[in-house]
Amino acid sequence: MQSYTIGQAARLLGVSPDTARRWADAGRITTHRDESGRRLVDGRDLAAFSVELARSGIAEDDTPYTSARNAFPGIVTAIKLGDVAAQVEIQAGPHRLVSLLTREAVEELGLEVGMEATARVKSTNVHIDRV
């Protein structure tokens, strides 16, 4: 399972690293230390926390994670696989994006809950880039 540093987690949550550290210190985000002593957050824990955070409406600011290409870097929070189709949900700061794609595409990208990914929005389509 992928783990994230406090700085990476903060970027995915749309908050400052100081805010993410305070949440970790308060026990809101579960962390563990690697061999070099860095605090890490498990991807599944971060995915669950990002959904909880978005539902509560708490955000550091209202700045969306967008660019000229409408890229939303975030974390995969849910994957629903059917026989042919799949639904992938990404939490990008305060934004929840849902992409409908083929099961084959999800498998080729190796997508899992807790994995970092970027949703790219064009018109009404949401494309997923694995990071």
* Contact call for residues 21 and 101 (beta carbons, < 8 A): no
Which residue reads 């990002």 in tokens? 50
pTM here is: 0.60
Q: For 78-96, write each residue's pLDDT tens digit.
A: 999 999 999 999 999 888 9
CA–chain centroid gap for 4, Å, is: 10
pLDDT digits (tens, 9 = 90+) for 7-19: 999 988 888 899 9
The pair phi, psi for residue 67, each rounded to 5°, is: -135, -175
User: pLDDT tens digit string along 33-88?
Assistant: 999 999 999 999 999 999 888 877 655 444 444 444 688 889 999 999 999 999 99
Q: Which of 101, 53, 51 is nearest to 76 (CA)?
A: 51
Within 10 angstroms of residue 78's Cβ, the number of other Cβ atoms is 14
In this predicted structure, what is the pLDDT of residue 72? 86
Backbone angles phi, psi at 53, to 5 degrees: -65, -45
Q: Which amino acid, one-letter code, is at 97?
A: L
* pLDDT of the residue at 68: 43
110 pLDDT above the threshold of 60: yes
CA angle 4, 92, 65 (to 5 degrees): 110
